[in-house]
Structure 1
Amino acid sequence: MTHILAIDQGTTSSRAIIFDADMAPIASAQEEFDQHFPQSGWVEHDPSDLWASTAATCRAAIEKAGLGVDAITAIGITNQRETTLVWDRATGQPIHNAIVWQDRRTADTCRDLAEHADLVTAKTGLLLDPYFSATKVKWILDHVDGARDRAKAGELAFGTVDSWLIWKLTAGAVHATDATNACRTMLYDIHKGRWSSTICDLLDIPMEMLPEVKDCAADFGTTRPDLFGRAIPIMGVAGDQQAATLGQACFKPGMMKSTYGTGCFALLNTGDTPVASTSRLLTTIAYQLDGKPTYALEGSIFIAGAVVQWLRDGLKMIREAKETQPLAEASDPGQPVILVPAFTGLGAPYWNADCRGAIYGLSRNSGPAELARAALESVGYQTRDLLDAMRADWAGDAGDASLRVDGGMSASDYAMQFLADIIDAPVDRPKVQETTALGAAWLAGHRAGLYPDQAGFAEKWALDRTFTPAMAPEDRAAKYHQWTRAVQATLVFAGAD
């Protein structure tokens, strides 16, 4: 047994990737699934889609690799975080669609709980916001008839997507999560390493429905034999952004990575010390091994790659994401169009759930090229917002201050060069850009004894390209000033003070 199967269950698609004994990806399969938008600001998934697409891609990846199932040593899972599911323990049937991390339906609930915001942050490291799982669980229990009583009776299970997949893979034998997913629920005390009864009581969430919390590299059970031809152990689990932090080998305090998928998520390793942010960033668990958590500061952007999907699916302006680069390169530099992609609110460091997207600087000559450029550049601007906030919070040594990037949008040379220009720091893109899946694979492979320890893994990390800042300082300052004005105007329009 010399291979690892990594499951990467994302917001818009599920993927499975086979890694060999040298941690190189040799085969993959991907399947998109439907997004459901019942109301403005609401986003849901059908739980059966999450499971069916995961199982199908696992089988397809194994077949593409040309391997017998006996070659698979273990499974690692990484997943979209905060997305919330509640299901019946007896039947395994969800009682409601999954409420996705982007969903803003609980904004009023969060406002009603505002007096408890400091308590929530002190225990969880998070801000009181609809982004996280806790108020989503409360909403389901409030709106599904009899759900809370059934939860108190132990009949219902809550889980983020990792827990749902583990439950399905093990035929209900294991109800568990890992520390990185638990810490994103807004129900987990990151200092004590356990579920917070105080917050559960505050939201009237029965603790009987919560999963067991394990290390990222641990025994999460075995798959039911009929799924893939034999029972395969599940040995690694981490939320997608923490898995990418591992996949980027950001093991030393001060190292930073930013992942560009549907959203953008930047993490700064702060070591064994949780750093309280004064810049409205999140204090979170980067990973937990051998019972010891390593902490991070995180900034979350709700819309990154999704802005390109909007150009494709909403405006029908492009057919493929890669078309944005030649369009942006052909745009008129004399038209400073700014796009603030607050389609589901603004994330860090603004945290405004009521904002919606806005475009500034349009003229009669503005067209697809200018919109494509504005879309790609919006990701760079938002990343700078995050990194400036991190630099304000972090007193430790930032080393060479380079930023390691991954995710679908990192393949765009235009976007990455603009990112380096606007943050005024080198941007390093690795050879293996599937770092989220690689992180999950490393966890499982290391646990199984197939892959090396942290130091050995870090030595294998390989650079594809460094993007070096080339923008004149005065241009950088002028462009970023335009962006901050656009964000402030969007906040004012949304009614923010």
Structure 2
Amino acid sequence: MAGPFVLAIDQGTGSTKALLVDRDSKVVARGQHPLGLSTPQPGWVEQDAEEIWQSVLAAIREAVSPEVAGDIVAIGFSTQRESCLLWERATAKPLSPLLSWQDQRTLKLCEAVPETTQRMIRAKTGLPLDPMFSAVKAQWLLDRVDLDRSRAKAGEICVGTIDSYLIARLGGDHVVEIGNASRMQLVDLDRGDYDADLLALFNIPRASLPRIVPSRYDFAKVSGIAPLADGTPVTAVLADSHAALFAHGAFQPGKVKATQGTGSSVMGLYDSAIPADQIDLGVCRTIAWQVDDIAYAFEGNIRSVGSTLVWLADFLGISTADLATLSASVPDSNGVTIVPAFGGLGAPYWDANAVGIIGGVALGTSRAQVARAAVDSIAHQIVDVLDRVLVSGLKVDQLYVDGGPTKNELLMQLETDLAGVAVVRPETAELSAMGAAHLAGLGAGIWTLEDLAALPRDGKVFTPGMDDISRQRLRMEWRRMVARSRGLSVHERPETRKADRSGTY
């Protein structure tokens, strides 16, 4: 193997991956280390920060041999978002578990916030007040570790997301990449900086927070991490979903991607000149990245995608692979619908009180039809978000997909049929890691933005084959079941406006 190489580290919820990427954007070596989740109480989801750090080291050792370590010119990170922890500044010792983005323990804190204040939060941050985001997690943690905030005010305690913590472990300053920072629900999107009103609302001292920096930045230099060469620079950090968008080459509005894993992130860039109030409230606004200027994105976060398939496979006592085969053995669900609101519904409903339901079941319902309904639910949820994108006056030329569930051919055909646009699945599966590699290589001078935009992105294209009447019937039945899940009258449509499919998304 001939260098130069870029090392990409993708720190996700279920594992940490490391990819060694050459100048042709080809993966020449990889490593992966699994991670566990802890659920000490219903609705609580935690991870161990030290275990995550050790998983990073293990993935690096698996991917990098001593023979090529000296040819690595840059390191890039993609990381899970919103998850939050506290650590001691002087030692980088964790003072709390990492509260996962999936954690719901702060729901009552969110519900106690007046509606007018919630509107203020949404207007400034682009995000609805929700346990998913970091601010209320940080408030909960500080209330238990530093109630009077004396240590946080003195800067002895650091509050941050996992990217901040990993940079600290690498010897870098207390910083956070701007895209990750925008998911903390403490940042005014228009200014790209912390908002004093939000810091006061959540009682988070500014001295405890990381400094916000661009996505391409001199984050740290490696020291004492074999087999890496001392001095190897970390030049890029991206949030995982943002990194996938970057890897798809979605540098202009119109290219939309749906990353599908445990949950799903439907995201695309939009013109910053578009007024914020034009974007439907079911869709978040966020910062995608900052290379030179800040790039803004819309996003819909769906809570249960791959986790729905895992849940049903476990319930039926089969593997997820067998579940996929079972779902493809029938032409449709025969009226069975699953709304997987196991922890409430995310975008575009943002209804924490919605409950998971299975409807349309009869004595003759088969296991295969229930399996098909689980697969259907993923496509419907993604199209729910796309509908809100459309009524916001934004467009979707094509839908680019990535993540484990996208290997399912039936699911991909359902997504294109229900969305009415082509779905493009690239050959490269590890898009978040590749996005981090591309940005790190950009920082190291291996590629220019023009080079990255021109990279071949071969893959399979799925095109719609369903007639409009069938599509509308399926969508109407889905909306009826979502209404039931949310406790609404079945005669009352959930909050969504009709999508005009006569034009382009």
Would you say the 8 A contact 2:241–2:259 is kept in 1? Answer: yes
The runs of at least 4 aligned residues of structure 1 exceeding 6 Å deviation read none
Secondary structure of the corresponding residue to residue 334 of structure 2:
coil
Identity score, percent = 36
1:260 aligns with 2:255: no
Counterpart in the other structure of 2:108: 108
Secondary structure of the corresponding residue to residue 299 of structure 1:
strand
Would you say the 8 A contact 1:274–1:283 is kept in 2? Answer: no
> Deviation at 1:225?
2.5
1:419 aligns with 2:421: no
> Deviation at 1:234?
0.4
- The residue identity in structure 2 corresponding to 1:184 is R
Counterpart in the other structure of 1:485: 480
- Say what the alpha-carbon RMSD is for the aligned residues: 2.0
Q: What whole-Å deviation, never above 9, does each CA across 1:357-400 have from its counterpart, x for those lacking one?
A: 211122234343223212211110000100000011135xx37x
Aligned mates of 2:456, 2:305 — CA distance in 1: 25
1:124 aligns with 2:120: no
Would you say the 8 A contact 2:333–2:370 is kept in 1? Answer: no
> TM-score if structure 1 supplies the norm length?
0.93
TM alignment of 1:454-473, pairs within 5 A: 455-473=450-468
Would you say the 8 A contact 2:266–2:385 is kept in 1? Answer: yes
Secondary structure of the corresponding residue to residue 35 of structure 1:
coil
> Deviation at 1:273?
3.4
Instruction: Name the CA shift for 1:67/1:352 in 2 (closer, same or farther; >3 Å).
Output: farther
Counterpart in the other structure of 1:15: 17
Would you say the 8 A contact 1:82–1:101 is kept in 2? Answer: yes
- The residue identity in structure 2 corresponding to 1:309 is V
Aligned mates of 2:456, 2:215 — CA distance in 1: 20
Q: Which consecutive residues of structure 1, in runs of 5 or more, have no partner in the other structure?
A: none
Counterpart in the other structure of 1:89: 89
Aligned mates of 2:462, 2:331 — CA distance in 1: 23
- The residue identity in structure 2 corresponding to 1:388 is D
Aligned mates of 1:310, 1:357 — CA distance in 2: 12
- The residue identity in structure 2 corresponding to 1:306 is S
Instruction: Name the CA shift for 1:47/1:147 in 2 (closer, same or farther; >3 Å).
Output: farther
Secondary structure of the corresponding residue to residue 358 of structure 2:
strand
Count of aligned pairs between the two proteins: 485
- The residue identity in structure 2 corresponding to 1:387 is L
> Deviation at 1:147?
7.0
1:393 aligns with 2:388: no
- The residue identity in structure 1 corresponding to 2:74 is A
- The residue identity in structure 2 corresponding to 1:376 is V
Would you say the 8 A contact 1:274–1:284 is kept in 2? Answer: no
TM alignment of 1:166-245, pairs within 5 A: 166-170=167-171, 173-231=172-230, 232-245=232-245
Counterpart in the other structure of 1:38: 40
Aligned mates of 2:282, 2:26 — CA distance in 1: 37
Counterpart in the other structure of 1:72: 72
Instruction: Name the CA shift for 1:282/1:251 in 2 (closer, same or farther; >3 Å).
Output: same
Instruction: Name the CA shift for 1:334/1:89 in 2 (closer, same or farther; >3 Å).
Output: closer
- The residue identity in structure 1 corresponding to 2:484 is A
1:333 aligns with 2:332: yes
Secondary structure of the corresponding residue to residue 405 of structure 1:
strand
Counterpart in the other structure of 1:139: 140
Counterpart in the other structure of 1:298: 299
Aligned mates of 2:317, 2:21 — CA distance in 1: 36
- The residue identity in structure 1 corresponding to 2:378 is V
Aligned mates of 1:244, 1:318 — CA distance in 2: 30
Secondary structure of the corresponding residue to residue 217 of structure 2:
coil
Q: What whole-Å deviation, never above 9, does each CA across 1:392-431 have from its counterpart, x for those lacking one?
A: 1135xx37x2111111111111111110011111101112
Aligned mates of 1:55, 1:185 — CA distance in 2: 26
Instruction: Name the CA shift for 1:274/1:41 in 2 (closer, same or farther; >3 Å).
Output: farther
Instruction: Name the CA shift for 1:284/1:53 in 2 (closer, same or farther; >3 Å).
Output: same
Counterpart in the other structure of 1:250: 250
Aligned mates of 2:461, 2:180 — CA distance in 1: 31
Single out whichever of 13-22 and 226-235 deviates more from structure 2.
226-235
Aligned mates of 1:24, 1:323 — CA distance in 2: 31
Would you say the 8 A contact 1:189–1:195 is kept in 2? Answer: yes
Counterpart in the other structure of 2:318: 318
Alignment partner of 1:440 out of 432, 436, 443: 436
> TM-score if structure 2 supplies the norm length?
0.92
Single out whichever of 275-284 and 154-163 deviates more from structure 2.
275-284
Instruction: Name the CA shift for 1:343/1:75 in 2 (closer, same or farther; >3 Å).
Output: same
Instruction: Name the CA shift for 1:413/1:136 in 2 (closer, same or farther; >3 Å).
Output: same
Secondary structure of the corresponding residue to residue 113 of structure 1:
coil
Instruction: Name the CA shift for 1:55/1:217 in 2 (closer, same or farther; >3 Å).
Output: same
Instruction: Name the CA shift for 1:419/1:185 in 2 (closer, same or farther; >3 Å).
Output: same
Would you say the 8 A contact 1:268–1:390 is kept in 2? Answer: no
Would you say the 8 A contact 1:339–1:375 is kept in 2? Answer: yes
- The residue identity in structure 1 corresponding to 2:306 is G
> Deviation at 1:339?
1.1
Aligned mates of 2:41, 2:330 — CA distance in 1: 35
> Deviation at 1:169?
2.2
Alignment partner of 2:61 out of 52, 59, 62: 59
Aligned mates of 1:125, 1:475 — CA distance in 2: 35
Would you say the 8 A contact 1:31–1:57 is kept in 2? Answer: yes
Counterpart in the other structure of 1:376: 375
- The residue identity in structure 2 corresponding to 1:199 is L
Secondary structure of the corresponding residue to residue 373 of structure 1:
helix
Would you say the 8 A contact 2:158–2:208 is kept in 1? Answer: yes
> Deviation at 1:471?
1.2
